[in-house]
Amino acid sequence: HMEKLRAAMPDIALRTTFIVGYPGETEAEFQGLLDFVEEIEFDKVGAFPFSPEPGTPAALLSEPVPDAVKEERFARLMELQQPISLRRNQAQVGKKLSILVEGEGEMVAEDGRGQSTPLLMGRSYRDAPEVDGLVLVPGMRGVPAGEFMEVHINGAMEYDLVGEPLLATTFSSRRVG
């Protein structure tokens, strides 16, 4: 079914969130989750180890999964998802995206010794606030948070995209560098 969905909507972004280590979760069930994630190839995956919340039915369940097992399963899930996320992000390179500017920041040189570069940070329709990656626009500042701008995507990482401005929606934006 996902092939049909992606064929009908090539720009769709599939994201989900999983709880790992829910009471009673077996290794076989967890392996089923890994197989599912590998098959579907979600663009974005959020995950967290189960934590009992007082007053919820789940807090009363027996068969808790040991914390070490929950953490190990969480790590395995995220390790599986990272190359999938990278591939899905790499598929965005060369495309034009409209981003909602969230603010400004700086990109530090990879060796940690070079000069930092100002950048804009924003999100596209593919990114949920606070949990997904960002679209980074190096060498740009002056576009207020809340403005939209068009970006040509020219780089991809596991969680973030990198782009260059095509058109800013405000006259106060300016290229620096």
Nearest-5° Cα angle at 124, 118 to 129? 85
Provide the pLDDT confidence category of residue 167 given band limits of 50, 70 and 90.
low
Tell me the CATH architecture of domain 96-175.
Beta Barrel (2.40)
166 pLDDT higher than 50 = yes
Look at the chain and count its residues.
177
Tell me what percent of the residues of the chain surpass a pLDDT of 70. 92
Domain 2-90 top-level CATH class = alpha beta
What is the average pLDDT value for the chain, to the nearest integer? 90
pLDDT per residue over 127-140, tens digit each?
A: 988 889 999 999 88
Sign of CA dihedral 33, 38, 40, 42: positive
Domain extent listing, the chain: 2-90, 96-175
User: Looking at residues 22-48, what average pLDDT do you find?
Assistant: 96
| Angular region, 55: left φ>0, alpha ψ -120 to 50, beta rest | left
User: Looking at residues 77-101, what average pLDDT do you find?
Assistant: 97
Q: What is the pLDDT of residue 170?
A: 47
DSSP alpha helix (H) spans, 9-123 = 27-40, 67-90
Q: What is the pLDDT of residue 111?
A: 67
Among the listed residues 127, 128, 165, the one whose alpha carbon sits nearest the alpha carbon of residue 148: 165
pTM for the model stands at 0.83
177 pLDDT higher than 70 = no
| Pairing of β 15-20 and β 44-49 | parallel
